[in-house]
């Protein structure tokens, strides 16, 4: 394959022609331009709304708690001065006379956030508690109060049910807080400074990473995979459209009638598809950056203290590699698409090929893989890992250049391969046997 | 066998033969899943394991300053650390860092010193005694950590240290409490968690979270290529015409194809399930080890597919309906992406399990099947809920399957006389208007949101005057030009009858009162999370003087939003759609633009009422007046005024006036038509 | 007695209009009257877009007419289309075959759809395979056949139920010389078989050679109808081409 200066201009011209006709195709516009721009804001919006919904409902869901005590203590449960008073008060976060079960008392869930209500007090031991849970009108959890002082209280629930899980999540922290309070009270009563109870206190942790890189780090888990997917989908339809689509429309022959080398035509098409793929990728990066930035500004404006900043430098760092990757994707897809005679054939050929891209992309999203010099030569996987490392701020120029070089090499190989396929077709040796069914046969 | 059933059988046979002999498709649909599932899980398991091993065997470097700890605790800490994994500890002097206040934000100098001390290590730990307390024995020394959250090794270091520290703290506390009081006073309160969860159920429930999503993907994937081959493929091959000339009922053909689509899809789903179960059987899925649980899982998985059958029927019918309209394979494909997205949404797991949500989900198409699958996988498949869901889904499926029969109507099936394209061509105006509005909503959300986050007051003003208004004018300009009328006429800024204006204004108090009721009602079903009420969101707006509030909250949206929605959008839609559809679309989009699920219903209803006002009075002014009055009343309510409940009755004369106005307009129209007819004759 | 006088194909005031997204309302067929007797070969001559295909499709019960009636063998196409289709064989230029079926399976399938009893069907298929010389390749996939072979399969399929009426829509379009010649021979052979053949074409030489009567259709109406001699007398031209041009460009004379 020799690209001479004059024929390169022809390549550009053909690429421009193809681009123009592609841009008028609805699917191309949808996948390469509209989808990247619209997807992230919509996703983020939906995620925020769903989060609010779920949280709102959960907070206003009342947890129904049953209390089981040994028969001789049932009467005393919750009464002032009994050992259970403290526990129940902590759990329900209400004054004692307000949580003794009274079925006629209305529950005002509208204002009562994160409420726990005691529905019934029964007598029994563990077996009865378990049986109670499986009855029809069972409470969400059962608090099994121990017999002698020092016997362990138990919270019996079933975490596979969401109510049980919610009950545990709501009640356990309150009990832990109550335990701590009891310890403090005892310490005070015995004139012991509270700090003496601990050998060491937790002073928290500080993050020394710059704010920008925190956001980048978070994104490094999903963004590489997303970028691969989006580049692929941006290149998919144009690749088929430019080859099989043209054949279907009948304009393929017209292009071939030009006094231009077939290989040149193919290169022009590859360039057009690559341009579309690059546009899709760039729009993706831009849209994601803007959406995340938007989300962060909204959260910051809402008063939440988040130390995150949009990692524009990280984005700038991945852009060149992303563009190279787009070129590589376009070339690879075109290798197979250029042989297809109908849209259906093209899809059948490219469909499984997509898996070859998706699998390494997903593998690259797994933690633990690091971009090494060997991995830098494996297509697709190297890009994903490079994206991740770039977003994390890792400085590895050798590996990154290797990635760039290998992408370029593979892309050029793909172009060469496509040209070779084309020449085989010229010699009349079919690779795909899907003949169309009109009266005109090839 | 009657001739009819013989024909049906032959149709099914031919369709199946065509599909089965397509080797590539068969491979992709049936062989590939069996190979891919184990491969995928094996690779991911391998990667996960190797990643974990690498993490655990990594040598972590710590920079420690633990001089303030007592002997016992210090030794305990180091031992615990070493138990977590190989470490390389370096003792440093971090006394300087103790001078900084741990509760306030980190200062740059603190950052500098910490970074310097951290050096090459993954985690910097310093134990400081609090100098502000009187005697050292009154406080416990504090442990502080500095790390780099973007470094995986640093995170691992922190994780290990936290584990070690917790161990040390627990043992230290138990020791001391026994020393001081004899027992732990808090122990009587602490409840041991006695989780009765059945592990199979737990696993089933976890699996059930994403199982319906995978099912719908597989379902649409397999059903779509079969449906495309059966319907669009027929047309592409040129055999459709021949089929239509056969002396059989067109319905028979469509039904036969539908049956084939369903059967092949079910087969494909089963193969996928088999692939998944084979993977589980090979022990490649973490969490499904024992053979017993695998068998149980197999039973549940196939039961889940059985429960999913109504959904399969429904989706196949929908896909057949869609692909039958496509003239080519490619056109059929174009329609599939939006369908896939629409079908995906109901499969998302439901938050919470309150009965209202569950039973309404059971009756919703598709969501009911997802629910049934989740229940079956979690082991509670034999319940009224699942039975109801299945029955409801079958009913929905039947609604669509019924229409499959009419698919291969000769006129529609052939190129000439395509009603859809004709309708689409006529609906050019409304599509234009819709596109502009969707673009406007997007711009309002993204750009407007950013502006308002920067400065709420200015941002709001800019959003409405600077984005909504210009876009409304631009959109209406195109409509006006096509209809050859002036911009004002398109937007409805024409002379308005005082009747209509008065009627609209009279509706305002009722609406304002109704809004309050509606919101309270909504709170019961969709409560706002804590901290998200109106006050927190409107913040800066509430501090403005009254006139500014009225201008910004009442007048501005009234003008700008009306021009966009009831002006540009409505006039575009009105040309191609009837009253009901126009009102519905305008209401839905108006609800959406307010970008909050809690405001969707109130604003949607308001949008519908405003749309109907505009439609009945053929002018935009009543809607502007009503919107301004409504918002104004809400602002006043915020100021402390109460709208008297009796004023709600004003709505009745208001409605009467609007109805009267509509009647007048209709009579005028009739006269106009009669005149025109006379002139032509 | 009345059977012999009854026309095989009859169209009275047939009209068809539809909406095209670009051109608005299109009147494809504006009132066509035809009377074709059994055993006759009738050619519908006209340019592209003259309404030939729409007319033939209406007669073949594929499209419902907007106005007017049509009768095949005395049976109304709108009221009893299924009975009509039993007596009709239809072949169009765009007719395709199922690529992954064999010719034998194709014939079997369409035979069943026509309601031919299984015993008779096997014999009939065998007969057709012999007549059209299809036996050597009758069990290979249709996608592997040449154009001529596919044409034979399509014709066999159209004749499977021994129809009284054959409607062919531009049967020779897109065929090479040998295939066209084979098609012409086939149509001629139908005269001996007593089948009524209605076909449309824009190739004048075919019409000249085959047709008993010719109908010239232009802009949805039949401008002239009759034997070649009648048409020549009507227009005063010798060559069919001139006849055609004079009728189409000169105006309507029934």
Rounded-to-integer distance, Cα B605 and Cα A180, Å:
51
Chain A residues inside the 8 Å CB shell of B111: 208
| Confidence at residue B4, expressed as pLDDT on a 0 to 100 scale | 86
For residue C70, the SS3 value is strand
pLDDT band, very low/low/confident/very high, at A435 (cuts 50, 70, 90):
very low
**Which residue of chain C has the CA closest to B230?**
C98
Q: What ipTM goes with this model?
A: 0.83
Average pLDDT for B342-367:
78
Contact A438 C143 (CB under 8 A): no
pLDDT exceeds 90 at position B590: yes
- Find the CB nearest C99 among A437, A439, A440: A437
Rounded-to-integer distance, Cα A205 and Cα A142, Å:
37
Q: Between residues 376 and 435 of chain A, which touch chain C (CB distance below 8 Å)?
A: 433, 435
A79-93, A151-165, B13-27: which is most confident: B13-27
Contact B238 A60 (CB under 8 A): no
Check if A438 contacts C (Cβ < 8 Å).
yes
- Find the CB nearest A87 among B25, B189, B530: B189
| Confidence at residue B205, expressed as pLDDT on a 0 to 100 scale | 79
What spatial distance separates the first Cα and last Cα of chain B, rounded to whole Å?
63
**Which has more pLDDT, A200 or B124?**
B124
Among the listed residues B325, B323, B307, B595, the one whose alpha carbon sits nearest the alpha carbon of residue B444: B595
Chain C closest-CA separation from residue A330 CA (Å): 32
Average pLDDT for C150-167:
89
What value does the mean pLDDT of chain A take?
76
**Strand order across the beta sheet in which B191-195 lies:** A116-123, A63-69, A141-144, A153-157, B191-195
pLDDT in tens, A300-320: 554 444 455 666 777 777 888
pLDDT exceeds 70 at position B276: yes
Q: Which residues of A381-411 are buried (b: 16+ CB within 10 A; e: fewer)?
A: bbbbbbbbbbbbbbebeebbebbbebbeebb
Show which subunits contact C, needing at least 3 CB pairs below 8 angstroms. Answer: A, B
Q: Which residues of B121-135 are buried (b: 16+ CB within 10 A; e: fewer)?
A: bbbbbbbbbbeeeee
Answer yes or no: are the C-beta atoms of C99 and B17 closer than 8 Å: no
Helices then strands, each counted (H, E), chain A: 15, 5
**C-beta neighbour count of B240 within 10 angstroms:** 23
What spatial distance separates the first Cα and last Cα of chain A, rounded to whole Å?
28
| Confidence at residue A308, expressed as pLDDT on a 0 to 100 scale | 56
Rounded-to-integer distance, Cα C63 and Cα C16, Å:
9
pLDDT band, very low/low/confident/very high, at B521 (cuts 50, 70, 90):
confident
Among the listed residues A405, A229, A241, A211, the one whose alpha carbon sits nearest the alpha carbon of residue A314: A211
pLDDT band, very low/low/confident/very high, at B266 (cuts 50, 70, 90):
very high
* Percentage of chain B exceeding pLDDT 90: 11
DSSP class of residue A3? Answer: -
Which of A120-134, B196-210, B283-297, B482-496 shows the lowest per-residue confidence on average (mean pLDDT)? B283-297
Rounded-to-integer distance, Cα C182 and Cα C149, Å:
11
pLDDT exceeds 60 at position B169: yes
pLDDT band, very low/low/confident/very high, at B588 (cuts 50, 70, 90):
very high
| Confidence at residue B357, expressed as pLDDT on a 0 to 100 scale | 75
pLDDT exceeds 80 at position C243: yes
**Which residue of chain C has the CA closest to B7?**
C113
| Confidence at residue C251, expressed as pLDDT on a 0 to 100 scale | 52
CB neighbour list of residue B637: distance below 8 Å, 6 or more residues apart? B512, B516, B643
pLDDT in tens, A198-223: 777 777 788 887 766 666 677 777 77
Show which subunits contact B, needing at least 3 CB pairs below 8 angstroms. Answer: A, C
CB neighbour list of residue A244: distance below 8 Å, 6 or more residues apart? A337, A340, A341, A342, A343, A345, A346
**Which residue of chain C has the CA closest to B421?**
C21
DSSP H helices, B21-100, are 23-26, 32-56, 71-84
Residues in chain C: 254
Answer yes or no: are the C-beta atoms of A8 and A258 closer than 8 Å: no
**Which residue of chain B has the CA closest to C84?**
B247
Rounded-to-integer distance, Cα A116 and Cα A59, Å:
11
Rounded-to-integer distance, Cα C143 and Cα A433, Å:
9
| Confidence at residue A431, expressed as pLDDT on a 0 to 100 scale | 47
Helix axes B367-377, B355-363, angle to 10 degrees: 120
CB neighbour list of residue C150: distance below 8 Å, 6 or more residues apart? A439, C97, C142
* Percentage of chain A exceeding pLDDT 90: 0
DSSP H helices, B326-427, are 329-344, 355-363, 367-377, 384-404, 410-413, 419-426
CB neighbour list of residue B92: distance below 8 Å, 6 or more residues apart? B63, B64, B65, B117, B124
Average pLDDT for B642-659:
78
Contact C95 B239 (CB under 8 A): yes
Q: Which two tokens stand for residue B630?
A: 């409504």
Average pLDDT for A41-58:
80
| Confidence at residue B55, expressed as pLDDT on a 0 to 100 scale | 79
Q: Which two tokens stand for residue A325?
A: 């990757």
- Find the CB nearest A435 among C94, C143, C175: C143
Bridge partners (DSSP) listed for residue A121? A67
pLDDT exceeds 60 at position C37: yes
Check if B428 contacts C (Cβ < 8 Å).
no
Beta strand pairing status for C221-226 and C213-218? Answer: antiparallel
Average pLDDT for B396-406:
84
**Which has more pLDDT, A107 or A376?**
A376
pLDDT exceeds 50 at position B281: yes
Chain B closest-CA separation from residue A19 CA (Å): 19
What value does the mean pLDDT of chain B take?
82
Rounded-to-integer distance, Cα A272 and Cα A280, Å:
12
**Which has more pLDDT, A74 or C134?**
C134
| Confidence at residue B262, expressed as pLDDT on a 0 to 100 scale | 93
Beta strand pairing status for B191-195 and C165-169? Answer: unpaired
Average pLDDT for A15-19:
83
Contact A441 C96 (CB under 8 A): no
- Find the CB nearest A195 among B138, B194, B233: B138
Chain B residues inside the 8 Å CB shell of C21: 418, 421-422, 424-425
Average pLDDT for A38-59:
81
Residue A203 host element (H or E): strand A201-207
pLDDT in tens, A91-143: 887 765 555 555 445 555 445 678 888 888 888 888 888 888 888 778 888 88
Chain C closest-CA separation from residue B408 CA (Å): 11
Chain C residues inside the 8 Å CB shell of B18: 98-101
B462 CB burial (10 A radius; 0-12, 13-18, 19+): middle
Q: For the residues of B78-112, what is the DSSP string, one character each?
A: HHHHHHHS-EEEEE---GGGGGS-TTSPPPHHHHH
- Find the CB nearest A439 among C99, C143, C147: C147
Average pLDDT for A67-73:
81
Contact A437 C143 (CB under 8 A): yes
Long-range CB contacts (< 8 A, 24+ apart) of B154-161?
B154/B122, B154/B123, B156/B55, B156/B58, B156/B60, B156/B122, B157/B60, B157/B61, B157/B62, B157/B121, B157/B122, B157/B123, B158/A205, B158/B123, B160/B60, B160/B81, B160/B84, B160/B85, B160/B87, B161/B62, B161/B81, B161/B123, B161/B125
Q: For the residues of B489-523, what is the DSSP string, one character each?
A: HHHT-S---HHHHHHHHHHHHHHHHHHHHHHHHHH
| Confidence at residue B179, expressed as pLDDT on a 0 to 100 scale | 82
C-alpha triplet A328, A333, A335: angle, nearest 5°: 100
Chain B closest-CA separation from residue C235 CA (Å): 34
Bridge partners (DSSP) listed for residue B62? B89, B123
Which of A261-270, B404-413, B502-511, C234-243 shows the lowest per-residue confidence on average (mean pLDDT)? B404-413
DSSP H helices, chain C, are 2-5, 52-59, 81-86, 103-113, 118-131, 147-159, 177-193, 204-210, 228-235, 240-250
Q: Which two tokens stand for residue C10?
A: 């009859």
**Which has more pLDDT, B474 or B641?**
B474
DSSP H helices, A208-342, are 211-240, 246-249, 252-256, 262-301, 312-337
Chain C residues inside the 8 Å CB shell of A435: 99, 143
Rounded-to-integer distance, Cα C71 and Cα C60, Å:
10
* Percentage of chain C exceeding pLDDT 70: 94
Rounded-to-integer distance, Cα B20 and Cα C105, Å:
15
pLDDT exceeds 50 at position C1: no
Contact A437 C97 (CB under 8 A): yes
Rounded-to-integer distance, Cα A128 and Cα A143, Å:
12
| Confidence at residue C125, expressed as pLDDT on a 0 to 100 scale | 92
A36 CB burial (10 A radius; 0-12, 13-18, 19+): buried
Chain B residues inside the 8 Å CB shell of A179: 185-187, 189-190
């Amino acid at each position: 394959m020799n690209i001479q200066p004059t024929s390169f201009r022809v390549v550009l011209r053909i690429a421009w022609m193809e681009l123009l006709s592609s841009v008028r195709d609805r699917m191309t516009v949808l996948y390469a331009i509209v989808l990247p721009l619209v997807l992230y804001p919509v996703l983020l919006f939906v995620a925020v709304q769903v989060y609010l919904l779920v949280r709102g409902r959960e907070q206003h869901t009342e947890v129904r708690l049953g209390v089981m005590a040994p028969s001789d203590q049932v009467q005393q449960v919750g009464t002032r001065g009994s050992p259970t008073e403290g526990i129940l008060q902590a759990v329900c976060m209400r004054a004692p006379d307000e949580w003794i079960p009274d079925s006629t008392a209305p529950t005002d869930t509208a204002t009562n956030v994160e409420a726990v209500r005691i529905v019934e007090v029964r007598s029994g031991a563990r077996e009865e508690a378990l049986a109670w849970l499986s009855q029809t009108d069972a409470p969400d959890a059962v608090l099994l109060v121990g017999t002698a002082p020092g016997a362990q209280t138990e919270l019996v629930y079933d975490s596979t049910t969401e109510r049980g899980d919610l009950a545990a999540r709501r009640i356990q922290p309150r009990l832990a807080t109550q335990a701590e309070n009891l310890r403090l009270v005892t310490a005070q009563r015995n004139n012991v400074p509270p700090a003496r109870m601990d050998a060491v206190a937790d002073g928290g942790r500080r993050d020394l990473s710059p704010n920008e890189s925190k956001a980048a780090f978070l994104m490094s888990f999903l963004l590489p995979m997303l970028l691969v997917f989006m580049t692929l989908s941006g290149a998919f339809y144009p690749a088929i459209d430019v080859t099989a689509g043209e054949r279907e429309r009948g304009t393929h022959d017209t292009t071939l009638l030009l006094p231009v080398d077939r290989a040149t035509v193919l290169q022009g098409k590859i360039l057009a598809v690559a341009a579309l793929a690059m546009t899709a990728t760039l729009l993706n990066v831009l849209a994601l950056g803007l959406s995340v930035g938007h989300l962060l500004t909204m959260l910051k404006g809402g008063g939440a203290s988040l130390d995150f900043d949009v990692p524009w430098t990280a984005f700038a760092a991945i852009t060149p590699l992303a563009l190279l990757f787009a070129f590589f994707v376009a070339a690879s897809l075109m290798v197979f698409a250029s042989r297809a005679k109908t849209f259906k054939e093209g899809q059948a050929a490219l469909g499984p090929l997509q898996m070859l891209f998706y699998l390494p992309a997903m593998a690259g999203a797994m933690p633990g893989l690091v971009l090494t010099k060997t991995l830098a030569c494996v297509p697709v996987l190297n890009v994903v890992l490079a994206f991740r490392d770039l977003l994390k701020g890792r400085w590895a120029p050798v590996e990154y250049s290797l990635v760039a070089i290998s992408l370029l090499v593979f892309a050029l190989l793909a172009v060469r391969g496509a040209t070779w396929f084309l020449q085989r077709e010229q010699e009349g040796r079919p690779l795909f046997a899907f003949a169309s069914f009109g009266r005109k046969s090839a | 066998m009657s001739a009819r059933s013989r024909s049906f059988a032959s149709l099914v046979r031919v369709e199946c033969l065509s599909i089965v002999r397509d080797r590539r498709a068969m491979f992709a649909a049936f062989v590939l899943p069996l190979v891919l599932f184990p491969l995928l899980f094996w690779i991911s398991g391998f990667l996960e394991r190797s990643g974990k091993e690498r993490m655990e065997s990594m040598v972590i470097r710590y920079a420690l300053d633990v001089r303030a700890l007592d002997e016992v605790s210090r030794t305990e800490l180091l031992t615990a650390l070493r138990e977590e994994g190989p470490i390389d500890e370096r003792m440093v002097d971090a006394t300087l860092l103790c001078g900084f206040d741990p509760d306030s934000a980190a200062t740059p100098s603190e950052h500098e010193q910490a970074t310097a001390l951290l050096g090459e290590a993954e985690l910097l730990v310093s134990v400081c005694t609090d100098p502000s307390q009187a005697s050292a024995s009154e406080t416990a020394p504090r442990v502080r950590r500095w790390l780099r959250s973007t470094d995986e090794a640093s995170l691992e270091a922190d994780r290990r240290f936290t584990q070690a520290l917790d161990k040390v703290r627990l043992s230290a506390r138990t020791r001391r409490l026994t020393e001081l009081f004899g027992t732990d006073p808090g122990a009587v309160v602490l409840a041991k968690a006695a989780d009765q969860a059945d592990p199979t159920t737990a696993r089933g429930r976890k699996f059930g979270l994403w199982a319906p999503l995978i099912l719908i993907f597989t379902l649409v994937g397999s059903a779509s290529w079969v449906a495309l081959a059966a319907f669009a493929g027929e047309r592409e091959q040129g055999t459709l015409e021949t089929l239509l000339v056969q002396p059989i009922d067109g319905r028979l053909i469509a039904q036969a194809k539908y049956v084939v689509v369903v059967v092949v899809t079910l087969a494909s789903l089963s193969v996928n399930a088999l692939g998944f179960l084979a993977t589980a059987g090979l022990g490649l899925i973490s969490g499904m080890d024992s053979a017993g649980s695998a068998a149980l899982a197999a039973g549940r998985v196939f039961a889940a597919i059985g429960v999913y059958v109504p959904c399969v029927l429904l989706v196949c019918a929908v896909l057949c309906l869609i692909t039958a309209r496509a003239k080519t394979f490619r056109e059929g494909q174009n329609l599939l992406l939006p369908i896939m997205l629409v079908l995906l949404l109901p499969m998302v797991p439901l938050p919470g399990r309150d009965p209202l949500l569950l039973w309404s989900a059971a009756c919703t198409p598709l969501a009911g099947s997802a629910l049934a699958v989740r229940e079956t996988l979690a082991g509670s498949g034999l319940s009224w809920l699942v039975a109801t869901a299945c029955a409801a889904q079958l009913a929905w499926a039947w609604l669509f399957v019924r229409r499959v029969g009419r698919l291969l109507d000769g006129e529609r099936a052939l190129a000439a006389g395509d009603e859809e394209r004709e309708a689409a061509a006529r609906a050019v105006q409304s599509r234009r208007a819709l596109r502009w509005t969707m673009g406007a909503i997007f711009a309002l959300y993204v750009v407007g949101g950013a502006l308002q986050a920067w400065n709420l007051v200015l941002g709001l003003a800019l959003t409405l005057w600077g984005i909504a208004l210009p876009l409304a004018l631009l959109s209406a300009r195109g409509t006006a030009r096509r209809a050859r009328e002036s911009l004002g006429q398109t937007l409805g800024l024409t002379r308005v009858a005082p009747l209509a204006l008065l009627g609209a204004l009279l509706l305002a108090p009722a609406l304002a009162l109704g809004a309050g009721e509606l919101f309270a009602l909504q709170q019961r079903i969709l409560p706002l999370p804590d901290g998200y009420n109106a006050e927190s969101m409107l913040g800066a707006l509430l501090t403005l003087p009254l006139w500014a509030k009225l201008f910004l909250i009442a007048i501005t949206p009234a003008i700008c939003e009306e021009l966009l929605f009831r002006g540009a959008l409505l006039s575009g839609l009105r040309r191609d759609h009837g009253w009901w559809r126009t009102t519905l679309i305008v209401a839905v989009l108006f609800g959406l633009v307010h970008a909050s699920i809690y405001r969707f219903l109130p604003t949607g209803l308001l949008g519908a009422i405003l749309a109907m006002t505009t439609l009945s009075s053929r002018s935009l002014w009543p809607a502007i007046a009503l919107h301004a009055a409504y918002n104004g009343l809400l602002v006043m309510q915020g100021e402390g005024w109460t709208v008297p409940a009796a004023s709600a009755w004003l709505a009745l004369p208001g409605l009467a006036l609007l109805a009267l106005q509509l009647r007048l307009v209709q009579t005028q129209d009739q006269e106009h038509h009669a005149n025109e007819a006379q002139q032509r004759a | 007695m009345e059977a012999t006088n009854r026309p095989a194909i009859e169209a009275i005031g047939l009209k068809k209009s539809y909406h095209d997204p670009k051109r608005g309302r299109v009147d494809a067929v504006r009132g066509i009257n035809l009377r074709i007797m059994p055993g006759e070969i009738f050619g519908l001559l006209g340019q592209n877009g003259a309404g030939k295909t729409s007319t033939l499709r209406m007669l073949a019960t594929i499209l419902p007419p907007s106005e007017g009636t049509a009768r095949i063998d005395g049976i109304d196409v709108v009221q009893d289309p299924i009975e009509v289709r039993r007596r009709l064989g239809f072949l169009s230029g765009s007719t395709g075959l199922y690529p992954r079926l064999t010719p034998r399976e194709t014939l079997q399938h369409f035979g069943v759809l026509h309601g031919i009893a299984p015993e008779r069907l096997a014999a009939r298929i065998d007969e057709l395979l012999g007549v059209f010389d299809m036996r050597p390749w009758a069990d290979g996939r249709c996608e592997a056949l040449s154009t001529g072979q596919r044409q034979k399969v399509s014709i066999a399929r159209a004749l499977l139920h021994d129809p009284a009426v054959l409607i062919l829509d531009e049967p020779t379009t897109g065929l090479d010389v040998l295939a066209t010649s084979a098609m012409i021979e086939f149509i001629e052979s139908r005269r001996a078989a007593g089948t009524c053949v209605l076909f449309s074409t824009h190739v004048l030489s075919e019409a000249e050679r085959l047709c008993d009567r010719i109908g010239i259709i232009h802009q949805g109406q039949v401008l002239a109808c009759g034997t070649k001699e009648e048409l020549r007398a009507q227009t005063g031209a010798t060559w069919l081409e001139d006849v055609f041009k004079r009728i189409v460009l000169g105006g309507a004379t029934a």
